[in-house]
Chain A
């Protein structure tokens, strides 16, 4: 596939995406003395997730001090949970304080990556016609960066405004409008309380409810105090608990019963305290075990649902037409605006753009039956290519940055090792990758079976398609070491 090209300069590292992952990689490489870097970013601004998700109420549900890089601590977080604004400020600070902007080429959407085995060089081409060549390539295009719309007939017929949570329309005035929110996952739960303040009529369409924990903010409302009194030591335990719950769901057995049951009791108590009506309680109570899916945090979602202008609708959606949404109970719900809080499309198979490895092999077709990698980061036959949030690296409820950092460090170590050994390429061995995946699949099968959830796959509400079936700490540990014996090393002379 590769066309020999003598004009274009050869950089050390090319990175796709200027979100946390791309910027963090550049930052750490720079600290190790590698600064011949190009970052290709399709948007005109850095920040990824936090640039795109600016819907009212957008915030991080990981405490800020955990949701930041350990190698670049934010001087001051104003709140325990940062809103998207403040996270953007942190990202800007990262870019400015470490001088990362000089690496970035904005408005460059990568449409393909291909490897030239002879030269050991990756070439990225962009939709805008740019070509970038580099020895190493890092795919950091984000696990959740492409908004997805549900597959509802008639979606394009709607005559009013359509807004996606990840592509917010800040010019639209929601005041006095009849608004539908479709989806009750992480974004939906954050948007609803905000829109409930503005819309004249708000209808929230839910397919599956999520477990929602009270959000522990600095100022605590009275009912929350009561709740924590009734469930002793809840407050202190909750964060640790959530961490463990997710860790345990991932491995399935160890902590399952005690921790999850306690948290589930707490989540149920949360519903009982906040929702008076028995039917609504029934509607918002999940049927799956806590921890199967991402646990959400909100103290104002349930109250918002019970406002006079608000109603939760759980009838199956049949179709969208020019006026609104028809549901199976035969009623047409009419709106001025439809808000899709339906998450992102995550390629469970295939790649976001074509990736060609050695001898023209193409990753998307190899992954047709499901994506596989080695430690989520390398793929055999694609030397010197690194992925952030590759297959089976999804964090459950721990800070994504813990995972990102582990991956960045792995990349930095690999790149510096290649440099110091004078090696042209490192390619993970097929057999090693295979063994790694057999092991993973075994663990995955066990977790799925044990956790009582239908699947680990993504729901309409977004989030983790392919989780790492183990502890975050375990993940980080496996990433600590780059085992050269797991790789086929190609020296500069071609051996």
Chain B
């Protein structure tokens, strides 16, 4: 996965597009979801689909902030591709009878807060921050969630869809880690000063307040579904291994921050969880209607292959 040529990557991305209409959503096999699995799978898919969508918005912000025109365009595609994943996952949910008409699955309150934050502040975040956080989310998705899903679900169409999603995701990770290394170049003290400045940025603090409880809630949901926590450890380990495989990668302060944070997240006994779990609990008391309507970019999600 070493250094990649962005122009080649862009070509590859352009040539690897697929559409919901390529898939026969009525293929036999939908009945292979057991009654016992169904409710858990419904929650799982809903979370998964929202994470994809949140990731999509993150890529939109990256695209806005990338200076290199090729990278900018790659991110514009990734934005769309994550949206495609969310759309395809909704189509699967619909196949399994998990959607209520045209309504979107309800996002949990932590997702709502994250969406709100993304809507308001993500475009103002320096590339370093999102460029280092998103790989973490993607690797967790890729390494833990998707594998788990495929082990649990028997529906062959599900495998077909996630094969496509995974292929996209592999390209995303390639670019993610390439960029993380790029971000580690330059002078150490400048990076540190910039990082300290950003850490103190109230917009980022708000973001952390949205992101940290979201991760904890997701972890709880997933573990409740039977995912081994080791899977998450592995995913975090992978982030650290790939992100830190070169000097540049390790020198990216955001890589350091996020991989340390990741370690805390997977360590159940870490003191970190006391306040964060409290936040999760507290957020249960936030009436979602106070948050107002979701931003309109959320409304563009659809399970319909054609429009």
Residues of A within 8 A of B (CB): 277-280, 282, 287, 315-316, 318-319, 323-324, 326-334, 454
> Can you give 22 A-B contacts (C-beta < 8 A)?
A277-B296, A278-B296, A279-B119, A279-B295, A279-B296, A280-B296, A316-B73, A316-B80, A318-B17, A318-B19, A328-B81, A329-B83, A329-B87, A330-B20, A330-B88, A331-B20, A331-B306, A332-B19, A332-B305, A333-B306, A333-B307, A334-B306
Q: What residue in chain A is nearest B302 (Cβ atoms)?
A: A331
Asked whether, in the complex, the Cβ of A328 is within 8 Å of the Cβ of B306, the reply is no
Asked whether, in the complex, the Cβ of A330 is within 8 Å of the Cβ of B87, the reply is yes
Give the distance in Å from the alpha carbon of A106 to the alpha carbon of B73 in the complex.
45
Chain B residues within an 8 Å CB radius of A324: 306
B285 at the interface (CB under 8 A from A): no
Give the distance in Å from the alpha carbon of A277 to the alpha carbon of B299 in the complex.
12
Give the distance in Å from the alpha carbon of A329 to the alpha carbon of B88 in the complex.
9
Known A330-B18, A331-B19; judge A315-B305 contact (CB<8 A): no
Closest Cβ–Cβ distance, residue A122 to chain B (whole Å): 43
Asked whether, in the complex, the Cβ of A331 is within 8 Å of the Cβ of B87, the reply is yes
Give the distance in Å from the alpha carbon of A332 to the alpha carbon of B146 in the complex.
26
Contact residues on B (Cβ < 8 Å of other chain), bracket: 20 to 34
B123 at the interface (CB under 8 A from A): yes
Closest Cβ–Cβ distance, residue B293 to chain A (whole Å): 11
In chain B, positions 12-30 with a C-beta closer than 8 Å to chain A are: 14, 17-21
Closest Cβ–Cβ distance, residue B260 to chain A (whole Å): 33
Give the distance in Å from the alpha carbon of A319 to the alpha carbon of B19 in the complex.
10
Asked whether, in the complex, the Cβ of A328 is within 8 Å of the Cβ of B84, the reply is yes
Closest Cβ–Cβ distance, residue A225 to chain B (whole Å): 28
Give the distance in Å from the alpha carbon of A278 to the alpha carbon of B279 in the complex.
28
Give the distance in Å from the alpha carbon of A328 to the alpha carbon of B19 in the complex.
7
Asked whether, in the complex, the Cβ of A328 is within 8 Å of the Cβ of B80, the reply is yes
Closest Cβ–Cβ distance, residue A452 to chain B (whole Å): 11
B203 at the interface (CB under 8 A from A): no
Q: A324-B306, A331-B20, A332-B20 are in contact. List 5 more A-B contacts (CB 8 A).
A: A278-B119, A278-B295, A278-B296, A328-B77, A329-B87
Closest Cβ–Cβ distance, residue A202 to chain B (whole Å): 13
Asked whether, in the complex, the Cβ of B64 is within 8 Å of the Cβ of A287, the reply is yes
Asked whether, in the complex, the Cβ of A316 is within 8 Å of the Cβ of B306, the reply is no
B153 at the interface (CB under 8 A from A): no
Chain B residues within an 8 Å CB radius of A328: 17, 77, 80-81, 84
B226 at the interface (CB under 8 A from A): no
Chain B residues within an 8 Å CB radius of A329: 80-81, 83-84, 87, 300
Chain A residues within an 8 Å CB radius of B300: 329
Closest Cβ–Cβ distance, residue A151 to chain B (whole Å): 11
Closest Cβ–Cβ distance, residue A327 to chain B (whole Å): 7
Q: Which of B19, B69, B83 has the most CB of A within 10 A?
A: B19
Known A315-B80, A330-B19; judge A323-B87 contact (CB<8 A): no
Chain A residues within an 8 Å CB radius of B87: 329-331
Closest Cβ–Cβ distance, residue A177 to chain B (whole Å): 15
Asked whether, in the complex, the Cβ of A279 is within 8 Å of the Cβ of B302, the reply is no
Asked whether, in the complex, the Cβ of B123 is within 8 Å of the Cβ of A282, the reply is yes
Per-residue interface assignment for chain B, residues 88 to 99, with 1 indicating a CB less than 8 Å from any chain A CB and 0 otherwise: 100000000000
Q: What residue in chain B is nearest A287 (Cβ atoms)?
A: B64
Give the distance in Å from the alpha carbon of A330 to the alpha carbon of B301 in the complex.
11
B245 at the interface (CB under 8 A from A): no
Closest Cβ–Cβ distance, residue A260 to chain B (whole Å): 20
Give the distance in Å from the alpha carbon of A370 to the alpha carbon of B190 in the complex.
41
Q: What residue in chain B is nearest A276 (Cβ atoms)?
A: B296
Per-residue interface assignment for chain B, residues 281 to 307, with 1 indicating a CB less than 8 Å from any chain A CB and 0 otherwise: 000000000000001110010101111
Q: Which 5 residue pairs are nearest across A and B when measured between Cβ atoms?
A: A328-B80, A330-B84, A329-B83, A318-B17, A329-B80
Q: What residue in chain B is nearest A318 (Cβ atoms)?
A: B17
Give the distance in Å from the alpha carbon of A277 to the alpha carbon of B295 in the complex.
8
Chain B residues within an 8 Å CB radius of A287: 64
B137 at the interface (CB under 8 A from A): no
B9 at the interface (CB under 8 A from A): no
Chain B residues within an 8 Å CB radius of A280: 296
Closest Cβ–Cβ distance, residue A249 to chain B (whole Å): 19
B76 at the interface (CB under 8 A from A): yes
Chain B residues within an 8 Å CB radius of A332: 19-21, 305-307
Chain A residues within an 8 Å CB radius of B69: 454
Closest Cβ–Cβ distance, residue A389 to chain B (whole Å): 28
Give the distance in Å from the alpha carbon of A282 to the alpha carbon of B61 in the complex.
11
Give the distance in Å from the alpha carbon of A148 to the alpha carbon of B305 in the complex.
30
Give the distance in Å from the alpha carbon of A58 to the alpha carbon of B48 in the complex.
47
Give the distance in Å from the alpha carbon of A473 to the alpha carbon of B300 in the complex.
48
Closest Cβ–Cβ distance, residue B244 to chain A (whole Å): 31
Closest Cβ–Cβ distance, residue A8 to chain B (whole Å): 52
Chain B residues within an 8 Å CB radius of A319: 17
Give the distance in Å from the alpha carbon of A327 to the alpha carbon of B123 in the complex.
23
Chain B residues within an 8 Å CB radius of A318: 14, 17, 19
Asked whether, in the complex, the Cβ of A330 is within 8 Å of the Cβ of B297, the reply is no
Q: What residue in chain B is nearest A454 (Cβ atoms)?
A: B69
Chain A residues within an 8 Å CB radius of B73: 316
Give the distance in Å from the alpha carbon of A454 to the alpha carbon of B69 in the complex.
8
Give the distance in Å from the alpha carbon of A282 to the alpha carbon of B297 in the complex.
11
Closest Cβ–Cβ distance, residue A310 to chain B (whole Å): 13
Q: Which of A323, A324, A332 has the most CB of B within 10 A?
A: A332
Closest Cβ–Cβ distance, residue A75 to chain B (whole Å): 49
Per-residue interface assignment for chain B, residues 224 to 247, with 1 indicating a CB less than 8 Å from any chain A CB and 0 otherwise: 000000000000000000000000
Asked whether, in the complex, the Cβ of B19 is within 8 Å of the Cβ of A326, the reply is yes
In chain B, positions 45-84 with a C-beta closer than 8 Å to chain A are: 64, 69, 73, 76-77, 80-81, 83-84
Chain B residues within an 8 Å CB radius of A330: 18-20, 80, 83-84, 87-88, 305
Give the distance in Å from the alpha carbon of A315 to the alpha carbon of B300 in the complex.
11
Chain B residues within an 8 Å CB radius of A331: 19-20, 87, 302, 304-307
